[in-house]
Amino acid sequence: MAVRAGRIGLLVAVVAVGAVGLTGCDNVTSLARPSTPVVLTGNDVPKLKGVPPDRVVAFKHEIIGNVGTWTQVPVQVDERKVVAYGSQPANNATAGVEGSVYGNGSGGPTRLQYADPNTFVGADTNPKVDADDEIAFLSSDTGGKPRASDAPEPPGVVAGTGTQVLVADPRGEGEYGYLYLFKSKPGLDPSAGQDYVDYDFVLASGDYKATYKRADGPNPETSTVRTDVYEAGFIDRWKETTWKVLAPGASGVDILDGHKNQFAIDVCGRSNDTFADAEGAFVANIDGPVRAIRSYVGANSGPVTQRTHVFYRDREVVITELRVHPIPGVMDYLDLSAAATGMTYRTSTMPTPVTVDGSADSVPTGVAEWEAYDGPQGQVLTQQVFTSTAGPLTTSSYYRDDAATAEAQCWGDSSLYGAAGAAITSSIPNTDPRNPPFDTLTGVRTTEFGSPAEDDGDIATDAADWAADLATPLSLQITAYAP
Ligand SMILES: [Ca+2]
Ligand SMILES: [Ca+2]
Ligand SMILES: [Ca+2]
Ligand SMILES: [Ca+2]
């Protein structure tokens, strides 16, 4: 289902209790949470260790009309490896060498990164599923559990290689579903013939390894990510400038001027524009059936500052790891385009909406647990969370609606439409691992796209429910499947 909907009722009557504390039945999934990514590691699934990623397949089992059926569903293995960052080359003509993020220099700090043969990170050193690789699927692809009278294993898999993943919702009323992982015989595709996310990484210059200016940008792009529910677009490494909601009922216009970062309001010394204009490199660009991953480094004097976008069918997650000398503060906000005019804006601290129209509104300060834009253009729910090892940091919210703002626009258009987000307004200590001791600061922005609300009265309730789901992950029980 492409529409981001609120909780759905149980699909079937309760006829059995699967386990203590769980309600529902084993015929089909009873999970009622909107489709949610589930990410395991190879370490979680011992039976898949040593299996080639293209032989990892997933199935759900359903009993419909008393007939048990195995259905293949999409699963994605994303390989990871530990590599050094390296350092930006002295000039753009320096050829890269595989084995570090920058493909240059003597190494420096290492981190576990997504592997990509098309960047200088390179392919995983172990081409099979190993402990640190990730295995991703969607909760909406779970099913029930086979009976003794059903076929114990689906066709096309290697007997005895199964793992059962029980996915349960701690927030609900005991809803749960099962997904089964197997090693396939030759002939099955892990995508199960589906492609939830299509990521086209396109540089104006051509091939990444041959043409990317790692010493000194900019590096113009026309990259896009498209699902049934939304489209996102990038014009350079740090510049996400397109959001079109494509869910049913949404107009599909581009509502985003830019996802923006800067030190403070009206301060443009550092921004996505200056980041993209200086050194940088890509860690990985991955386009799979379940998700796309876009991960990169390089933010002026923080050359190992990293941002990783993970795109699922309904959701974009942006993880930003600040790694830089002490800085005075940081903002992370969405600046919408004039095409967002007419959308409403609500937050957990402001259930009564204001209208995005380029005219100023009164909005309370204080970082929100959720923010919601809604209108004929579609619905966008978003949340920004900062976590840090540094001592108490002062945070604040930000909102501007001003078509003819006097405040400096670091990049993008000359207006602020429904511009909103969160900021750390106190100074941030050193976070650069190249220069210990260092603190860590990670920002995670999660954004969910969906159809315009049928009833505006539901927006605040649905958004609060979504934020509560984010705060309470699905629980997993992973066991060897021995039918
Ligand atoms: Ca690995
Ligand atoms: Ca591997
Ligand atoms: Ca307004
Ligand atoms: Ca703007």
Distance 338 CA to ligand 4 centre (A): 8
Q: Encode burial over 42-75: b for 16+ CB neighbours within 10 A, e otherwise.
A: bebbebbeebebebbbbbbbbbeeeebbbebbbb
**Of the candidates 222, 245, 237, 360, the residue with the CA atom closest to the CA atom of residue 305:** 237
CA 371 – ligand 4 centroid, Å: 18
Distance 81 CA to ligand 2 centre (A): 8
Average pLDDT of each block of 10 consecutive residues along the chain (483 residues)? 42 39 76 94 98 98 95 98 98 97 95 98 98 98 96 97 98 95 98 98 98 98 98 98 98 98 93 98 98 98 98 98 97 98 97 96 92 98 96 93 96 97 96 98 98 97 97 97 88
Distance 438 CA to ligand 3 centre (A): 41
133 alpha carbon to ligand 2 midpoint, in Å?
6
Q: How far is the CA of 160 from the centre of ligand 2 (A)?
A: 22
Distance CA 300, CA 278 (A): 6
Q: What is the distance between the alpha carbons of residues 255 and 253, in angstroms, rounded to a whole number?
A: 6
Among candidate residues 240, 241, 243, 264, the one with its CA nearest the CA of residue 252: 243
Ligand that comes closest to the CA of residue 51: 2
**Nearest listed ligand to the Cα of residue 362:** 3
Q: What pLDDT sits at residue 24?
A: 58
The ligand that comes nearest to the alpha carbon of residue 257 is: 4
Picking from 329, 182, 316, the residue whose alpha carbon sits closest to that of residue 256 is: 316
- Cα torsion at 102, 107, 108, 113 (round to 10°)? 60
The 3-state DSSP composition of the chain as helix, strand, coil percent (nearest 5) reads 10, 40, 50
pLDDT for position 25: 80
pLDDT at 153: 98
Residues 6+ apart with CB under 8 A from 471: none
For ligand 3, the distance from its centroid to the CA atom of residue 144, given in whole angstroms, is 48
Compute the distance between CA of residue 148 and CA of residue 427 in angstroms, rounded to an integer: 62
| pTM of the full structure | 0.95
**Ligand 4 centroid from CA 212, angstroms:** 28
Q: Ligand 3 centroid to 401 CA: how many Å?
A: 5
Query: Strands across the sheet with 230-236, in order?
Result: 198-200, 223-226, 230-236, 239-245
Q: How many residues does the chain have?
A: 483
Residue 130 C-alpha to ligand 2 middle, in angstroms? 5
Ligand nearest to the CA of 83: 1
Question: Which helix or strand (DSSP H or E) is residue 414 part of?
Answer: none
Q: How far apart are CA 376 and CA 361, in angstroms?
A: 20
Ligand nearest to the CA of 416: 4
What pLDDT is attached to residue 5? 43
How many angstroms separate the alpha carbon of residue 319 from the centre of ligand 4?
22
Say how far apart CA 276 and CA 255 lie, in whole Å: 22
Distance 347 CA to ligand 3 centre (A): 14
Question: Ligand 3 centroid to 415 CA: how many Å?
Answer: 12
* Collapsed DSSP state (helix, strand, coil) of residue 209: helix
Phi, psi values for residue 459, rounded to 5°: -60, -50
Query: How confident is the model at residue 366, as a pLDDT?
Result: 86
Ligand 4: centre distance to CA 414 (Å): 5
Return the residue matching tokens 């937050």. 347
Provide the token pair at 294.
Answer: 């876009």
Q: Domain residue spans in the chain?
A: 196-452
Long-range contacts of 305-312 (CB under 8 A, 24+ apart): 305/275, 306/111, 307/238, 308/114, 308/283, 309/225, 309/240, 310/37, 311/197, 311/199, 311/225, 311/227, 311/232, 312/35, 312/37, 312/138, 312/196, 312/197, 312/227
How far is it, in rounded angstroms, from Cα 262 to Cα 273? 9
CATH of domain 196-452: 2.70.98
3-state secondary structure of 196: coil
User: Residue 53 CA: which ligand is closest?
Assistant: 2
Q: Quick one: which of 356, 357, 358 has its CA closest to 374?
A: 356
Torsion angles phi and psi, residue 54, rounded to 5: -80, 5
Contact 415, 260 (CB under 8 A): no
pLDDT at 7 (0 to 100)? 53
Determine phi and psi for 41, rounding to 5 degrees: -110, 165
d(CA 283, CA 305): 12
The CA 350 to ligand 3 mean position distance, Å, reads: 14
**Predicted local distance difference test score (pLDDT) of residue 265:** 86
Q: What are phi and psi of 420, to 5 degrees?
A: -150, 150
The bound ligand whose nearest atom lies closest to the alpha carbon of 356 is 3
Phi, psi (5° rounding) for residue 84?
-80, 160
Q: What is the Å distance from ligand 2's center to 306 Cα?
A: 22
Distance 332 CA to ligand 4 centre (A): 14
